[in-house]
Structure 1
Amino acid sequence: MKTVDFKHARGPDKLRVYAIGDVHGRLDLLQAMHRRILAENEKSPPFDWVVIHLGDYVDRGPDSKGVLDLLVNLQKNTHRMLALAGNHDVGLLEFLETGDAYGLFARNGGRQTALSYGVSIEFNDPDSVAAGQKALVEAMPPSHIQFLRGLQRSIVFADFFFCHAGIRPGVDLDHQDPDDLIWIRWEFLENPRLHPKVIVHGHTPVSDVDKRPNRVNLDTGAYASGRLSAIAIDVDQKFFLEAVV
């Protein structure tokens, strides 16, 4: 099996690829990162460019609604803004469908997401959960739900494979379990083997961008750290960007 390491990995010709880590309701940081990217393009104009958002747009931070508003509107107006699914994005959809008071959404920042839509939910109160689920379904614009349902689990550009959490080592990239792509952690993170592509991911917060021969972790815990990180891949050049507010 052919493998590649970060040092030798190349992006596509005539296309600069940006990837942004977990946002978690930090609209301010996402807007700042988009400005950084536009400034980088002005400073060093690419032939063409795209931005990949690696998922987890909602929960924990203060403005999940604003983040989804921004991404939905950007995708209406440009083909350059790509978005992948994170486990929290899928967890929101599951709560809307099931009202599970013990799922990911309920236990990991869903209250902040609901509040951004004007809905208050007390997850230790079954009546509040039931009423809150109904209210949130009514409060969320259909375009937001459609956006979340349409998110891809992965995308490939040249020598790089982009997903939210990582891959199952040893499994062909074309046959990865969709749940692994948004949930896997230590089986992937602790495996040093090279893969057919360099994996660019988020999902597991780190204090600084974690660049390794086989993978790059861009999740610098934006909702708590106030730092949103991204990578730029321009053929054989790779560099990192950070947005701080």
Structure 2
Amino acid sequence: MLLRTFFSRFDRRARLPKGVRIYAVGDLHGCADLLAGAFDLIDADLARSRPEQAIQVFLGDYIDRGPDAKRTIDLLIDRGQRHETVFVRGNHEALLLGLLDDPKMLPNWIKLGGMTTLMSYGITTSARDVLQRGREVSVALAAAIPSAHTDFLANLVPCFSCGDYFFVHAGVRPGVPLDKQSEEDLMWIREPFLSSDRDFGKVVVHGHTPSLEPEIRSHRINIDTGAYATGLLTVLSIQDDKVEFHSSSRSRARQDLE
């Protein structure tokens, strides 16, 4: 009922160019199993109805908190080699890149879920030991991350625009044109974005702020359903003016959330 109420407020005039279908995938946070399920879901949908152009957009926060950051990045790299994909930068990827340049950032990264990423790259130690041996741990992590992964992280984009939709990790600052947004806001903002009812110029599709189900407002859609905590990863499908929600869950059951 709540989802239907929000959906009735969505601007249905928004649409993609003719023949284009976009699949947008919410925050992964190391949930490689749910990502594999999302791939199955997308592939099955494409097999039923193949558009002229299909673009798969991933909204960032691929690492931290969840159990398998390394495998998640492997899957994304492989997907990008075989499909048209867009990989948006999340704040967690920015933190990791910053850490590789500046070990002093390690305590903040650990507080935000970095321990699971360390372990996924084979670095097993306690959080206390990490903080005591910060530079040593940072050097070990840099050596453990494959060059393909650092290249992937370095080439993430801050945002992606198509038709009447603007895809980003966190959101946008109200009152600032979309082409003038700061990368910090695109990766980190919550307020005043989340409570704003103003027109952003396009419908903003984002993650970053977990919700138990997709949030739909007149000019924004949040598809971060807290995969690492809920076991539910949301996939948004858009074609023409049609918007659909699907989910990859650990039960492998496909659900239609609309």
TM-score tier (shorter):
over 0.9
Alignment pair present for 1:241 and 2:215 = no
**Structure 2 partner of 1:89:** 93
Alpha carbons 2:55, 2:86 under 8 Å: kept? yes
**Structure 2 partner of 1:124:** 128
Identical pairs, percent: 39
In the alignment, residue 74 of structure 2 is paired with which amino acid?
Answer: D
Alignment pair present for 1:67 and 2:72 = yes
Q: CA separation in 2, counterparts of 1:74 and 1:10?
A: 26
Shift of 1:72: 1.5
**Structure 1 partner of 2:188:** 183
**Structure 2 partner of 1:210:** 215
Q: Aligned with 2:65: secondary structure?
A: coil
Alpha carbons 2:86, 2:160 under 8 Å: kept? no
Alpha carbons 2:206, 2:223 under 8 Å: kept? yes
- Which one of the candidate residues 94, 109, 115 is aligned to 2:113? 109
Alpha carbons 1:101, 1:123 under 8 Å: kept? no
Shift of 1:226: 0.2
CA displacement, residues 33-55 of structure 1 (integer Å, 9 cap, x when unaligned): 11101111112222220100000
Structure 2 gap segments, 5+ residues each: 1-9, 251-258
Q: Aligned with 2:98: secondary structure?
A: helix
TM-score normalised to the size of structure 2? 0.89
**Structure 2 partner of 1:220:** 225
RMSD: 1.2
Alpha carbons 2:170, 2:190 under 8 Å: kept? yes
Structure 1 gap segments, 5+ residues each: none
The size of the alignment, in residue pairs, is: 239
In the alignment, residue 224 of structure 2 is paired with which amino acid?
Answer: D
**Structure 2 partner of 1:56:** 61
Q: CA separation in 2, counterparts of 1:43 and 1:24?
A: 29
Q: Aligned with 2:243: secondary structure?
A: strand
Alpha carbons 1:218, 1:230 under 8 Å: kept? yes
In the alignment, residue 118 of structure 1 is paired with which amino acid?
Answer: G
In the alignment, residue 242 of structure 2 is paired with which amino acid?
Answer: Q
Q: How does 1:6-21 map to 2 (within 5 A)?
A: 6-21=11-26
- Which one of the candidate residues 154, 157, 173 is aligned to 1:149? 154
Q: CA separation in 1, counterparts of 2:145 and 2:238?
A: 35
Shift of 1:71: 1.1
Q: Taking structure 1 as reference, are residues 7 and 241 closer, same or farther at Cα in structure 2, changes over 3 Å only?
A: same
Q: CA separation in 2, counterparts of 1:73 and 1:36?
A: 17
Alpha carbons 1:56, 1:89 under 8 Å: kept? yes
TM-score normalised to the size of structure 1? 0.94
Alpha carbons 1:9, 1:236 under 8 Å: kept? yes
Q: CA separation in 2, counterparts of 1:133 and 1:241?
A: 38
Q: Which moved more, 1:37-46 or 1:121-130?
A: 121-130
